[in-house]
Structure 1
Amino acid sequence: MKIGELARRSGLAASRIRFYEASGLIAAQRQANGYRDYPEHMVQTLGIITSAQQSGFSLDEVRRLLPDAGQENWPHDQLLASLQRKVGEIEQMQERLAQNKARLLAVIASIEARPEGMGCTENAERVLTQMNARRNV
């Protein structure tokens, strides 16, 4: 199939498909007239690439997960290990995000607890002093 049809069926721009090809993620056969000819399974492969990127995989990670062009089967154990590793990375990121959220909420609460009559500059200094005191504990 030509790139226009692959773009339509995959929902990706032709430029994105050419980028994936230039990056070594997919391959096309060249016809005598120079047009790219993509196999039918390329729609599924592009879907896998897109899903993997949306799940946080880098293009290098995706490249390592995809089977080589001549390979019939996916590297099952390698695929499972990579997916499990990515879940672990996501869990660590969630933990860091929860900590960051808690810190920000504490700063917001501290700013909102401004003593009556205190100006913004004085309140900012008060909040910064509290933050520094917490950091030094």
Structure 2
Amino acid sequence: MKIGELAKRTGMAASAIRFYESRGLLKVASRQSNGYRDYPEEAVTILTIISDAQQAGFSLDEIKQLLPADVSSWLHDELITILQRKVADIEILQTRLAQNRALIQHLIQLIESKPEDMDCKLNAARVMASLGLNQEQ
């Protein structure tokens, strides 16, 4: 299939397909006599895997490790290990995000609890002091 049809079937831009091909994520397409790329049917599957993996947080290098040379020959144990590692990375990120969220919510509460008669400069000093930060450092 030509790159235009592949782009339409995957929802990707032709430039993205060429990019994945240049990065070695997608096998180099054969060329027709007129120079057009001719992609096999499995290219749709590979590009879908690439897109889904990117949305799940995998880098292109990680995706390249995941993709076998032949789609029908996945290395089960290696694939499971990589996927489990990504789940662990996501759990660490979730913990960090929850901590960041709690810190920001605490900061909002501190800022909003400004006494009515206090100006913004004094309130900033009050907030910094309550966070254990000294403005003069």
Using the size of structure 2 for normalisation, the TM-score is 0.92
**CA shift at 1:35, angstroms?**
1.2
**4+ residue segments displaced more than 2 Å:** none
**Percent of residue pairs identical:** 57
SS at match of 1:77: helix
Structure 2 residue identity aligned to 1:46:
L
Q: Structure 2 matches for 1:8-87, cutoff 5 A?
A: 8-27=8-27, 28-69=29-70, 72-87=72-87
Q: For residues 38-97 of structure 1, give each alpha carbon's deviation from its aligned partner in whole angstroms, at most 9, with x where no partner exists.
A: 00111111000000000000000000100014x741111111111111111111000000
CA-CA distance at 1:116 after TM superposition: 2.4
1:82-129 CA distance string (max 9 Å, x none): 111111111100000000111111111111111220001100011011
Aligned residues between the structures: 132
SS of the counterpart of 1:47?
Answer: helix
Give 1:119's aligned amino acid: D
Report the alpha carbon displacement of residue 33 of structure 1 after superposing the two structures with TM: 2.2
Instruction: Determine the C-alpha separation between the residues in 1 that align with 2:54 and 2:69.
Output: 19
The 3-state SS of whatever aligns with 2:15 is: helix
Tell me, which stretches of 5 or more residues in structure 2 are unaligned?
A: none
Distance in 1 separating the partners of 2:81 and 2:68: 15
Secondary structure in 2 matching 1:52: helix
Q: Distance in 2 between matches of 1:16 and 1:106?
A: 42
Residue in structure 2 matched with residue 90 of structure 1 by the alignment = 90
